[in-house]
Structure 1
Amino acid sequence: MTRACAADPETPNASSHQAAPPRYDSLSHMHRVQHFDSPAWQDLKPNACFVFYSSLPDGENTAAAELQWEARLRVKARDVPRLMREGFHWNAANFDFEATYIQLDVSDENDALELVGWTCSRNFFLSDLGDDPHWTAKLAVYAQNTNALSRFKITDLTLDKMGWASAWKEGGLGDSSQWLYDWDYEELEGNFNAIYDDMPLEGWWPWPKRDDDAPLESGSADGR
């Protein structure tokens, strides 16, 4: 599995048991979602990435002989330490599903994606829904064909399918980054939180968790 991340729940299962996009009473919801590429966020580069796989080797999700999809959640946060302190909470209510699209060619995105065999992607947009949103994100789901993409549901995302997660800030020398957080399910001894050490983190942060937390910790019900 590749670790490159392009710059470009009742369970954290991504919805509160919703198999389909939520119904909206008005158009106000989608206008509250601040898009990853919108003018309000275009000057901020991604500073966190969470990667999920349809199945993880040597884990509970080993039924599939091959990966069906890989999902990369690229996040732009105004304040990464705040995102750690308050928890990274989201569910289906945070998405603007009407902005979703499929890209048929991903060859110009990242060489590592092509090496894995991914040829197309389905792209979703989500954000904090507060009055002063402090994060926005783009979820790109990669697969070998559009059939796999059309079958993908937001509810397929769970913490036990997360392969790795990282957060960083831009360094002062060239393109170097200063790493704030790194977690890899295959290299648990190398995990670190440079800011808060072993302080338990809530929501979609995979580690550390409180000893009494359920394996799939719930995100906040209000979607923030």
Structure 2
Amino acid sequence: MYSNKDFKKSERIASYAKKPRINRPMFVVTDYAKSKAGNLRYVVRDVNHHSKTAGKKGYITADYAYVRPVYYHSSHKTLTVINPSGVNEYKNKNLSGKVKNFKQGTQLKVKGFVKHNLTTRYLLSNGHYITGNRKLVIAGSQKQPKQIKVKKAIYRYNNANFGKRTKHIKNGTVLKVKKWEYSHPYSATTFGAKRYAVAGGYVTANSKYVKVIK
């Protein structure tokens, strides 16, 4: 993020590392601008509430290789929930009247697509709605790991950042996977490492150490 639309290194306000889809930094676009060379810029406000950069304002690139709209703007027949906390189903398109929570990995059939202010919603076959936020759902079917087998001895930790070891797990152990997420979700400087939530804590998702068997 820069303080000027012409992107000089000396005018950088903040930098954002590439992140997993579920943890990508978000910005509200308040205006548009063009550099002297004619490149389109977004005038934005940082809305990453858990980050040190929250609230900062400036210019970022509008290049599609670097940024995407937060919300889908096209219809899809199937969506898969990717948010570790799941996605809520609502009676109304303004996301009021919560009905239930769909867990990560749930595949949903959608029959419609509606716009609501600056956001989009998907209409389910029962007439209810879910968000079209790309950080929470992904188009198409995505298989959710349910069980893993330990290939090399690993440790279980108390959180996804591997703060404290809580158990040694032997080679050959089969573990039930509750969900997957990434370490350091709010860091602007590191991508993060994929973890599996299992009974009692978190383990690595590194294929050198564990194998998805179901």
TM tier, shorter chain? under 0.3
Q: Which has the larger radius of gyration?
A: 2
For normalisation by structure 2, the TM-score amounts to: 0.26
For normalisation by structure 1, the TM-score amounts to: 0.25
Q: Which structure has more RCO (C-alpha within 8 Å, separation ≥ 6)?
A: 1
Going by fraction, where is helix more abundant, 1 or 2? 1
Going by fraction, where is strand more abundant, 1 or 2? 2
